[in-house]
Chain A
Amino acid sequence: MEGTKADRAKLKLAIIFGLGTVSLLFLFFISITVGEVSTSLPEAIQSTWNLIIHGGEAQNTAELVILNLRIPRTLSVIAVGIGLSIAGAVMQALIRNPLVDPYITGVSSGAALGATLAVLGGVTIAGLANYALPVMAFIGAATAFIFTMILAEAAGGRPISYVLGGVIVGIALQAGVTLLMYFNANQLHGILFWLFGSFAYMTWDSTLIVITVVAALTLVMLLYAKEFNVVLLGDEQAKQLGMNVKGFKRAMFMLVSALAAVCVAFTGVIGFVGLIVPHLVRMLIGGDHRLLLPASMMFGANILLVADIVCKTVVAPSELPIGAMISIIGAPFFGYLMIRMGKEYVM
């Protein structure tokens, strides 16, 4: 092969981004055609074009639906797909265990408790009525992470302390959710709808928040892709290669948890993506984080968007929970890869 290894890697990177973007664009247009009232693809493209040339002013109902419901929803699916996948890949590197997900520090249970309280209590925050649920969920997630961090740091601050701390905090908060649901069985549907994960209520405002946070945190993590490779060697080896491992890991734990918390706060608990996408991509293109992180982003966004489209179409005009759908799509695919590649690669 010609060129340096870096040149070859850059070529791979260009292919990953190129294919990923083309596929996302294609899925984007499919996604804005489906919903309670389906439109045809040419109509959707025409409407989008009209919206662009009219500077975002909707001229009819179809355009209004696409502008205010479908485009923000689609963009937030892409952002959350990117966020959860990269958060998972980073968390697996930090803990040095390919079987952890971005919720490992207790953020999903914390968010669930916050969201449950919001639904049950009808919490309204002055001027932020629409945000009561995501704000409560984010507070829950952040509180859970702070508890986990206090526990973990008290026990020495090693990655395994974060795992154990997260498990303890997660179990305790999950018990709270269970009890709240048990005593408020009549309101179960509202809680469950959030717990299963859904993009149905994403507005432009929420979408912009999610996109901003995901973009900023993802960029930071991509900048440190080289460091995640070093982290795989273990704390002592990374330290003797000149890295400030402890500080790096602590900062990254916070960033990953913030990323997971924002995703979970707006869209509920979506499992699978953060665990399996990095795993799968590792099998396909290897463990170098300079390729793994971008490829996980692209793959995560694409697969979550496919899942969301399926959720909207299978039982239209009703919807399926995306948390379940992503697992149904992902599990067989992952099983196939495991059987095919497992013989070549150690799992």
Chain B
Amino acid sequence: MSCEDELTVKVDNVSFSYGTKRNPCAKTLKGITINAQKGQLIGIMGPNGCGKTTFMRCINKVLKPQEGAIYIDGKDVDRLKMMEVAKLCANIPADVPDDFHLSVEEFVALGRYPYVTGIWWEGEKDERLVREAMAAYHVTHLRERKLGELSSGEKARVLLAKGAVQQPKILLADEPSAHLDLKFKLQVMQALKDLSRQGVTVITASHDINLIAKYADLVIIISEGGILSYGPPSEIINEEIIRAVYGVEVLVIREKGELFVVPLRPADPEKGNNEDPGTCEKGIVAD
């Protein structure tokens, strides 16, 4: 890899539970340990409710883990003020507030909030960064438009621009491409990849295994709150692990160093190999 081996995120044996002392409940995260290098794009996979989002919320201190510690650039997140965390770590929300008549430019500028020192207005440096980010994500022509008037693809680019303007060391993106068509999915993932090549550690959760396989440097598979597997996508994504995590039979095709996952049918819970008469995908794909 071209990036230097600098550690940006160290997650040390983190456990988290949504329960309280009076009302305990099972742990959502159990002893997660991860070391992420500067400039890596890390994809998190796992079924619904496995703890992906909880894990990402712990990294930027929205949630406080009961056990373990998280270090960003060697600093214990728990000891940092939220304002300091905000300068290290940005996240891409799922959607924009679209019924308050905020313009694209005003929205992107909100990413500068942790840096603004004046009472009211952003400084010249903030404005320059906002202009640059809008240009980089091709939304300059939309600057005066209201968020409510944008298409899904435009919203995704505006959200990325807001994240970039925050100048983070780590960018968290939970399902950044969920509502997008194929072209925008690729564009968003490529944008995340470009950011990682500029030295930002990008951590993204997605249900789209093929996108993760194509773009991620490392994949973390979380199942029932713990890490099931961790490594480069080509090494850890295979039929067995997908069946174990998602309960789905897939066909994994490897070609010219790339990896494609084709879902076939829900796996039989008994792990037998009964043919499902209702599916015909297997025949098509096998050819």
- Interfacial residues of chain A within 292-347, with CB under 8 A of chain B in the complex: 344-347
A290–B97 alpha-carbon span in the complex (Å): 17
| CB of B189 closer than 8 Å to a CB of A | no
Q: Are A230 and B97 in contact (CB under 8 A)?
A: no
| CB of A4 closer than 8 Å to a CB of B | yes
Q: Which residues of A contact B93 (CB under 8 A)?
A: 233-234, 236-237
Q: Which residues of B contact A223 (CB under 8 A)?
A: 119
Chain A proximity of B44: nearest CB distance (Å): 17
Binds B, one of A54-62, A66-74, A179-187, A241-249: A241-249
Q: Are A4 and B82 in contact (CB under 8 A)?
A: no
| CB of A239 closer than 8 Å to a CB of B | yes
Binds B, one of A143-151, A202-210, A279-287: A279-287
Q: Which residues of B contact A346 (CB under 8 A)?
A: 98-99, 146, 148-149
Binds A, one of B120-128, B192-200, B217-225, B248-256: B120-128
Q: How many A-B residue pairs have CB under 8 A?
A: 100
| CB of A226 closer than 8 Å to a CB of B | yes
Q: Are B110 and A286 in contact (CB under 8 A)?
A: no
Q: Are B82 and A286 in contact (CB under 8 A)?
A: no
| CB of B101 closer than 8 Å to a CB of A | yes
Q: Are A229 and B120 in contact (CB under 8 A)?
A: no
| CB of A120 closer than 8 Å to a CB of B | no
Q: Which residues of A contact B100 (CB under 8 A)?
A: 93, 96, 98, 232, 282, 287
Q: Are B99 and A347 in contact (CB under 8 A)?
A: yes
| CB of A9 closer than 8 Å to a CB of B | yes
Binds A, one of B32-40, B66-74, B83-91, B259-267: B83-91
A88–B100 alpha-carbon span in the complex (Å): 14
Q: Which residues of A contact B90 (CB under 8 A)?
A: 240
Q: Which residues of B contact A233 (CB under 8 A)?
A: 93, 97, 110
A290–B113 alpha-carbon span in the complex (Å): 14
| CB of B79 closer than 8 Å to a CB of A | no
- Tally chain B residues at the interface, Cβ within 8 Å: 41
Residue-wise interface mask of A (211-243) relative to B, using a CB-CB cutoff of 8 A (1 in contact, 0 not): 000000000000101100110111011011111
Q: Are A290 and B122 in contact (CB under 8 A)?
A: no
Residue-wise interface mask of B (103-130) relative to A, using a CB-CB cutoff of 8 A (1 in contact, 0 not): 1011001110110100111111001000
Q: Which residues of A contact B123 (CB under 8 A)?
A: 6
Q: Are B113 and A241 in contact (CB under 8 A)?
A: yes
Q: Are A229 and B110 in contact (CB under 8 A)?
A: yes
Q: Are A6 and B127 in contact (CB under 8 A)?
A: yes
A96–B87 alpha-carbon span in the complex (Å): 25
B97 in complex: contacting residue of A96, A239, A240, CB < 8 Å? A96
Chain A proximity of B191: nearest CB distance (Å): 19
A9–B81 alpha-carbon span in the complex (Å): 31
Q: Are B86 and A226 in contact (CB under 8 A)?
A: no
Chain A proximity of B86: nearest CB distance (Å): 4
Q: Are B102 and A240 in contact (CB under 8 A)?
A: no
A283–B148 alpha-carbon span in the complex (Å): 12
B82 in complex: contacting residue of A98, A226, A240, A283, CB < 8 Å? A240
Q: Which residues of B contact A9 (CB under 8 A)?
A: 121
A17–B203 alpha-carbon span in the complex (Å): 46
In this complex, which of B61, B85, B110 has the most chain A Cβ atoms within 10 angstroms of its Cβ? Answer: B110
Q: Are B106 and A286 in contact (CB under 8 A)?
A: yes
| CB of A189 closer than 8 Å to a CB of B | no
Nearest residue (CB) in B for A292 is B101
Q: Which residues of B contact A344 (CB under 8 A)?
A: 149
Q: Which residues of A contact B119 (CB under 8 A)?
A: 223, 226
| CB of B177 closer than 8 Å to a CB of A | no
Chain A proximity of B11: nearest CB distance (Å): 17
Q: Are A240 and B113 in contact (CB under 8 A)?
A: no
Q: Are B99 and A242 in contact (CB under 8 A)?
A: no
Chain B proximity of A154: nearest CB distance (Å): 14
Q: Which residues of A contact B146 (CB under 8 A)?
A: 286-287, 345-346
Interface residues of A (CB under 8 A from B): 4-6, 9-10, 93, 96, 98, 223, 225-226, 229-230, 232-234, 236-237, 239-244, 282-283, 286-288, 290, 344-347
Q: Write 10 A-B pairs (CB below 8 A) sorted by A numbering.
A: A5-B109, A6-B121, A9-B121, A232-B97, A237-B93, A240-B89, A242-B86, A242-B114, A286-B102, A288-B102
